């Protein structure tokens, strides 16, 4: 563990903030950053999405979501490349992705960094054994992990002032299947930072994470910059394809 920490401190730390708010665009930007990651750097990617539901790679949307309500209300459905459970995204939720070389990557350290930043602002948060961040016993952040031969990423959500009533509506499946080969989400009571401090904003927390992670100015990107890059547009098309979303 000490070796991993020592190596991590020697690497350049970058913060990248997305101006896009579309779930497919942000997942494609995440993938592009991950594929282009240099062996001498780590990245903290911070992003937000308009109303959408994101399922894990090995999940069945029919048993995770209220698909009829989502279709009625225009809620986007996306499947990410990592495992884990289903999550709600909106503009009151901050998404984070830590990425770096596999040799010095530690998921727990990433989450402890977030815990440290939140505690510095008076939030009594803690990390549990499932790698969830809790506020007074309720879940405010869940995360998932993905690795390749030489690199890894760890991404998650942080509920700040989200629309929890929508979370409950769209993440309550309309169809009850008793048997399924797919991985089911573990349902947990949720809370958010605004229930402890009503004045907190997503920008407040985003800027605190950015300034504590790196001394370099944050880089601002958007999907529009990469529309001529086939690596980006091909993956964007893949993310939006029904074959990927519904595992057809």
Could you list the residue range(s) of the whole structural domain that residue 230 is in? 2-239
Distance CA 153, CA 16 (A): 14
Residue 244 lies in a domain: no
Residue 172 lies in a domain: yes
Mean of per-residue pLDDT scores for the chain: 92
Residue 246 lies in a domain: no
CATH code at position 99: 3.30.930.10
User: Is pTM, for the whole model, over 0.85?
Assistant: yes
Residue 126 lies in a domain: yes
Q: Which tokens belong to 55?
A: 């399922």
Distance CA 23, CA 79 (A): 10
Confidence band for 7, pLDDT divided at 50, 70 and 90: low
Predicted local confidence at residue 79, as pLDDT: 97
> Which of the pair, 24 or 185, is modelled with greater confidence?
24
Report the range of poorest mean pLDDT among 10-24, 53-67, 179-193.
179-193
Distance CA 234, CA 64 (A): 27
Overall number of domains in the chain:
1
Residue 247 lies in a domain: no
Residue 245 lies in a domain: no
- Report strand pairing: 93-101 vs 151-159: antiparallel
Predicted local confidence at residue 189, as pLDDT: 85
> DSSP characters for the chain?
-HHHHHHHHHSEEEEEEE----HHHHHHHHHHHHHT--TTEEEEEEE--SSEEEE-TT--HHHHS-HHHHHHHT-EEEE-SS-S--EEE-TTEEEEEEEEEGGG--HHHHHHHHHHHHHHTT--EEE-TTS-EEETTEEEE-EEEEE-SSEEEEEEEEESS--HHHHHHHTS-SS--S--SSPPP----B--GGGT-TT--HHHHHHHHHHHH-SSPPEEE-GGGGTT-HHHHHHHHHHH-HHHHTT-
């Amino acid at each position: 563990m000490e070796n991993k920490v020592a190596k991590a401190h020697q690497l350049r730390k970058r913060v990248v903030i997305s101006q896009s708010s579309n779930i497919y665009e942000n997942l494609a930007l995440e993938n592009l950053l991950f594929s282009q990651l240099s062996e001498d750097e780590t990245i903290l990617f911070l992003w937000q999405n308009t109303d959408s539901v994101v399922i894990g790679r090995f999940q069945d949307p029919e048993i995770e979501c209220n698909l009829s309500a989502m279709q009625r209300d225009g809620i986007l459905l996306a499947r990410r490349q990592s495992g884990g459970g289903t999550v709600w995204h909106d503009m009151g939720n901050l998404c984070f992705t830590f990425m770096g070389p596999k040799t010095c990557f530690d998921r727990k350290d990433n989450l402890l960094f977030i815990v440290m930043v939140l505690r510095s602002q008076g939030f009594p948060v803690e990390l549990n054994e499932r790698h969830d961040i809790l506020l007074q016993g309720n879940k405010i952040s869940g995360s998932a992990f993905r690795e390749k031969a030489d690199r890894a990423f760890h991404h998650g959500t942080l509920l700040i002032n989200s629309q929890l009533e929508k979370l409950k509506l769209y993440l309550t499946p309309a169809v009850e299947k008793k048997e399924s080969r797919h991985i089911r989400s573990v349902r947990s009571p949720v809370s958010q930072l605004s229930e402890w401090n009503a004045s907190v904003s997503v920008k407040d927390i985003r800027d605190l994470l950015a300034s504590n992670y790196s001394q370099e100015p944050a880089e601002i990107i958007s999907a529009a910059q990469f529309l001529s890059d086939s690596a980006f547009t091909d993956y964007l098309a893949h993310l939006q394809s029904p074959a990927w979303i519904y595992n057809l």
